[in-house]
Amino acid sequence: MKFCRLTFSRWVITLAACSIALPAASQSFGDLPAAQQAQALQAQSQQTDSQQIQLQQLQNGQINRLPPPLSEQPSQTSWQQGTYGPLGPDGNQLEDEIQPFGAELFSGGFRGVRADGLNPQYQILPGDQITLRVWGAIDIDRILPVDAQGNIFIPTIGPVKVMGASHSQLDGIVRNAVRRVYSDNVSVYTNLQGVQPVAVFVTGFVNKPGRYAGVPSDSILYFIDQASGVDNQLGSYRNIRLIRNGETLAVMDLYQFLLHGELAHDQLQSGDTILIEERGPVVTVHGDVGRPYHYELNQTEQQQYLAGEVLTELAQLNAGVSHALIRGMRDSGPIARYLPLSEFNQARVANGDEVMFFADHQQNSIVVQLEGEYLGPSHFVLPKDAMLHELLNIVAIEPELTDFQNISLRRLSVAERQKQALDESLRRLETTYLGAPSATAEESAIRAREAELISEFVAQAREIQPNGRMVLAHNDNIVDLRLQDGDIITIPSRSDAILVSGEVYIPQAVVYVPGRKAMDYIEGAGGFSQHADEDRVLVVRQNGEVRNASDVTLRPGDEILVLPAVTTKNLQLAASITQILYQVAIAAKVVLDL
């Protein structure tokens, strides 16, 4: 058979733009049989008596009150209070949770396994021990200490100056000294046995100032780590001085180490002092960045104002950042400026400013995805005001294979609202029934069984992820609507099957036979299971529409869902759970077990 290729517009004759309300599965008191009416009246009388007992117990303080309902997450912006930063559970800004850049540096990582200090660059100091072996014209095998003058004394040779020489230079210095006396037939071997420990003072704005031991070749990071790191509130990560005999040998910037791996300073000696200076100007950065930090500005940049590009070089901005918000204080009072990133680089920031980065682009196009039975590409880049019919009119289909009347759309925002509505229903169910008091022991046992049922049901329901499917069909036509970024349009293929699932003995897919009703297919699937609610049978169309089986004529591709019966004598509880079962079936085409 040869198929012709047509577009959707050939099959659309009439457009309808109205919404569809699903029939509600509700029942009034007057519709109940006489026996059930009497039972409901008795239950209502018992519930009234229970409420009076509960009220008296509440007044006497004999039972605990129900916990307050869950509150919505606080917003990150409060124009009344002038707060724009991230908020904590109590609604306060998480200022204390933002750490200075580099705070993770001193978490014990430099206090682990250490080397013995013997490396080619190690400079020899008084007190070091040197092994010397000479053979040939003269035999010498001794361990020679480096004296206070920096010499080792070699018998028959005399003093040899080695202090300040590197470990790699030691063998050449000793060899030359020996050969000045014994020029022929002599071999020399030297080895530095060990190094003398040093004691270094760590002071200034550190958490635990004191005198700490190490070896001369240790980095200052090792000693600062022993002092539990820089004081995050007061200490500087960019102005650390190494002092010897009252003179500053080096001024170190830990940002250079963090960003570039550079940290050069002289070899340490006993009595040296590592001084952590007071923290310099600080700017707090958060928003669309890799991680929020307090950034300290370099001491060489301590003029009153700095260019914003200093921060863009330090902070790891996320892709797509386009704007920055500056908030702070100036001599004239509080200021707030919202600038494009190019202008922010030239703007002035000062000590105490708060800078938030945003990806605030105006999107002029959207990306929409197609799935199912169609011809052509699966993703389309469209103007942000594009309509559904405009897209479908350019999509080629094969009408003999495509069920174009059952086109549906999945939207992320709809799925999120469905999930929120489901979670809210589950929360109300827990709040209403799990905290209800019991007046008698018999009622308490019933409550316990109901609580177990509710807990298991809620645990299953919370795992459901709604699909966000929107029904587009109305009177066999596709309603036109404005598309959104991320929409997924499903164009189903024609099906000759009916799927029967839920509370039946043999869930299966069977061939569609015109004229057969839902009960015929259910009987073919073994009939209702013992947990089935025979009055609540749903039909789910391929386009996502959900109807009661008694209200519709079956079509190829339909799915028959048999909901479970709620096994409780509490009519109100049964109605609540049944409502949630409907929500789950509509939002995710899933039947929960009870």
3-class DSSP assignment, residue 413: helix
Laid out side by side, the sheet with 129-136 consists of 140-145, 129-136, 186-194
What is the arithmetic mean of pLDDT over 249-264?
88
User: Quick one: pLDDT band at residue 587, thresholds 50, 70, 90?
Assistant: low
Choose among 125, 116, 190, 124: nearest CA to 157.
190
Bridge-based pairing of strands 333-340 and 323-330 is antiparallel
- Given a cut of 80, whether residue 376 has pLDDT beyond it is yes
Which residue in 254, 262, 315 sits closest to 280, CA to CA? 254
Whether residue 399 sits in one domain with residue 266:
no
For the chain, percent of residues with pLDDT exceeding 70: 73
Residue 101 CB: number of other CB atoms within 10 A? 23
- pLDDT tens per residue across span 106-124: 876 666 545 555 666 677 8
One domain, residues 564 and 451: yes
- Residue 352 is assigned to a structural domain of this protein: yes
CATH number of domain containing 231: 3.10.560.10
pLDDT at residue 543 tops 50: yes
Please check the confidence at residue 432 and state whether its pLDDT lies above 70.
Answer: no
Band of pLDDT at residue 78, cut at 50, 70 and 90? very low
Structure tokens at 257: 């180490």
Do 388 and 518 share a domain, yes or no?
A: yes
For residues 418 and 292, membership in a common domain is answered with no
Give the DSSP per-residue string, 263-316: ---PPP-TT-EEEEEEP--EEEEEESBSS-EEEEPPGGG-SS-EETHHHHHHS-
**Stretch among 197-206, 230-239, 398-407, 520-529 having the lowest mean pLDDT:** 398-407
pLDDT: which is higher, 258 or 73: 258
Q: What is the dihedral of CA 311, 313, 318, 321, to 10 degrees?
A: 70
Q: Is the pLDDT of residue 24 over 50?
A: no
Between CA 438 and CA 446 the distance in angstroms is: 9
Query: Is this model's pTM higher than 0.75 or not?
Result: no
Same domain for 391 and 537, yes or no, is yes
Per-residue pLDDT, averaged over 23-35, amounts to 46
In this predicted structure, the answer to whether residue 441 has a pLDDT above a threshold of 50 is yes
If asked whether residues 220 and 244 sit together in one domain, one would say yes
Q: What is the CATH number of the domain that holds 161?
A: 3.30.1950.10
384 and 532 fall within a common domain: yes
Domain total in the chain:
4
Q: 3-class DSSP state for residue 132?
A: strand
Q: pLDDT at position 437, please?
A: 63
- Does residue 21 sit within a domain? yes
Same domain, 387 and 482: yes
137 has a pLDDT exceeding 60? yes
pLDDT at 349: 85
| pLDDT, tens only, 138-187 | 888 888 888 888 888 888 888 888 887 877 788 888 888 888 888 888 88
The per-residue pLDDT of the chain, averaged, comes to: 76
Q: Supply the pLDDT for residue 439.
A: 62
Does the residue 111 lie in any domain? no
Domain residues for 188?
A: 129-194
Residue 69 domain-assigned (yes or no) = no
Q: What is the mean pLDDT of residues 272-299?
A: 87
Same domain, residue pair 572 and 448? yes
pLDDT, position 272: 92
What's the rounded mean pLDDT across residues 258-270? 85
In a domain, 444, yes or no: yes
Model confidence at 273, pLDDT cuts 50, 70, 90, reads very high
Q: Are strands 365-372 and 546-548 parallel, antiparallel or unpaired?
A: unpaired
29-33, 256-260, 365-369, 499-503: segment of lowest average pLDDT? 29-33
- The answer to whether residue 94 is domain-embedded is no
Do the Cβ atoms of 507 and 501 come closer than 8 Å? yes
Is 80 within the bounds of a domain?
no
Q: Residue 97's pLDDT band (boundaries 50, 70, 90)? A: confident
Tell me what pLDDT residue 569 has.
Answer: 56
Q: Which of 13-27, 37-51, 147-161 has the highest mean pLDDT?
A: 147-161
274 and 286 both lie in a single domain? no
Confidence of residue 590 (pLDDT cuts 50, 70, 90): very low
Phi, psi of 168 (to 5 degrees): -70, -20
Per-residue pLDDT tens digits for 479-528: 899 999 999 999 888 888 999 988 889 898 999 999 899 999 999 889 99
Residue ending a domain, among 194, 213, 245, is 194
DSSP 72: P
| 246 inside domain | yes
Secondary element (H or E) of residue 472: none
Give the residue from 339, 358, 377 where a domain finishes.
358
Identify which of 39-48, 78-87, 464-473 has the greatest average pLDDT.
Answer: 464-473
**pLDDT attached to residue 158:** 86
Q: Are 325 and 308 members of one domain?
A: yes
165 and 264 housed in the same domain: no
pLDDT number for residue 406: 85
Residue 205's pLDDT is what? 94
> Which of residues 252, 278, 304 is at a domain's end?
278
